[in-house]
């Protein structure tokens, strides 16, 4: 049976260490999930800001992301103080709280960030000097990352390099539709020439009949007035030394998006 915040506040002195630790750990977990949800909501606005050339909105979103963590941590600190009351500094409770929290985030793909989130709380409460492994995550509690679905890489093959570039830049899942672009074919050819030059500069020989292939991260990264697609180019199926590529997109005027080749 769950307890309301007021009930917890009035009865916390009667709670066992393990019960109090579990309540607090769950409070931290919920605060972290709320932070992640709000952060994601802000981030999802980036695409529309870029297409609309709303740079003021983009900079406002960046500032909001920076403030979000501090605000969420302030809120969590007050919640924790209210729940724990006079037992706030009892390290036996915090040790149990860390253990319970570790189990709650065990299957999270962002558990290292979740651990740092917990550490931020302990340092606000205890003003820790150095580290205290009993109540902080010094090294991650986990040996390896949890099992996750297949990664979000996008693969492009079966065409010339500049055509692969166009396919990745206009991919509905990650890129922008062709009507948003300006001089796409010309700049893709220039970028393709640079990738070919990188192939030639490599010590690995490029097969005359090789079939190039691109692997691109399935996320666009927005910084300032630019949008960035990151990936790597392979000469052929057996390529062991692919060329890293970073595509910078600009949208400076109403004529459309340019590939900064």
Instruction: Between 235 and 11, name the one with better pLDDT.
Output: 235
Question: What is the band of 201 on the pLDDT scale with cuts at 50, 70, 90?
Answer: confident
Three-state secondary-structure class, residue 247: strand
Q: At 98, list the tokens.
A: 């860390």
Identify the pLDDT of residue 2.
46
Instruction: Between 2 and 222, name the one with better pLDDT.
Output: 222
Identify the pLDDT of residue 208.
57
Identify the pLDDT of residue 148.
52
Identify the pLDDT of residue 152.
81
For residue 230, the surrounding DSSP H or E stretch is strand 226-234
Condensed to tens digits (0 to 9), the pLDDT of residues 30-68 reads 999 999 999 999 999 999 999 999 999 999 999 999 999
Residue 256, sorted as left (phi over 0), alpha (psi -120 to 50) or beta, turns out to be left
Report which of 230, 229, 213 is spatially closest to residue 164, judged by C-alpha positions.
Answer: 213
For residue 178, the surrounding DSSP H or E stretch is none
Query: Strand 153-157 and strand 213-217: pairing?
Result: antiparallel
Answer yes or no: are the C-beta atoms of 24 and 93 closer than 8 Å: yes
Give the mean model confidence (pLDDT) for residues 238-254.
Answer: 90
**Close Cβ partners of 68 (under 8 Å, ≥ 6 residues apart):** 35, 38, 39, 42
In sequence order, which ranges of 44-90 are alpha helices (DSSP H)? 46-51, 55-84
Whether this prediction's pTM lies above 0.75 is answered by: yes
Question: What is the band of 1 on the pLDDT scale with cuts at 50, 70, 90?
Answer: very low
- 9 pLDDT more than 60: no
Report which of 255, 257, 258, 233 is spatially closest to residue 244, judged by C-alpha positions.
Answer: 233
How open is the CA angle 215-216-219, to the nearest 5 degrees? 155
For residue 188, the surrounding DSSP H or E stretch is helix 184-201
Q: At 179, list the tokens.
A: 């009507």
Identify the pLDDT of residue 239.
83
Identify the pLDDT of residue 12.
55
Condensed to tens digits (0 to 9), the pLDDT of residues 124-154 reads 999 866 678 899 998 766 666 555 554 688 9
104 vs 95: CA distance, rounded Å: 15
Question: What is the band of 244 on the pLDDT scale with cuts at 50, 70, 90?
Answer: very high
**Residues facing residue 253 across a β-bridge:** none
State the chain's mean pLDDT as an integer: 89
Condensed to tens digits (0 to 9), the pLDDT of residues 153-167 reads 899 999 999 999 999
Ranges of each domain in the chain: 5-126, 153-259
Following CA atoms 248, 161, 212, 148 in sequence, which dihedral angle do they give, to the nearest 10 degrees? 30
Identify the pLDDT of residue 202.
77
């Amino acid at each position: 049976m769950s307890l309301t915040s007021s009930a917890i506040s009035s009865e916390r002195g009667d709670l066992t260490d393990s019960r109090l630790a579990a309540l607090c750990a769950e409070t931290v977990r919920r605060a972290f999930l709320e932070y992640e949800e709000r952060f994601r909501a802000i981030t999802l606005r980036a695409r529309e800001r870029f297409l609309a050339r709303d740079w003021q909105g983009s900079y406002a979103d960046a500032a909001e992301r920076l403030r979000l963590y501090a605000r969420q941590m302030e809120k969590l600190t007050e919640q924790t103080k209210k729940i724990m009351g006079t037992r706030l500094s009892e390290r036996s409770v915090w040790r149990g709280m860390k253990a319970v929290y570790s189990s709650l985030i065990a299957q999270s793909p962002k558990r290292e960030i979740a651990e740092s989130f917990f550490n931020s709380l302990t340092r606000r409460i205890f003003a820790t000097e150095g580290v205290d492994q009993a109540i902080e995550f010094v090294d991650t509690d986990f040996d390896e990352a949890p099992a996750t679905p297949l990664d979000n890489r996008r693969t492009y093959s079966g065409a010339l390099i500049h055509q692969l570039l166009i396919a990745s830049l206009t991919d509905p899942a990650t890129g922008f539709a062709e009507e948003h672009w300006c001089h796409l074919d010309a700049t893709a050819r220039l970028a393709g020439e640079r990738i070919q030059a990188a192939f030639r500069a490599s010590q690995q020989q490029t097969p005359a009949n090789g079939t190039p292939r691109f692997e691109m991260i399935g996320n666009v990264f927005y910084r300032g007035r630019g949008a960035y697609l990151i990936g790597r180019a392979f000469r052929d199926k057996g390529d062991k030394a692919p060329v890293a590529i970073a595509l910078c997109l600009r949208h400076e005027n109403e004529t459309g998006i340019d590939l900064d080749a």
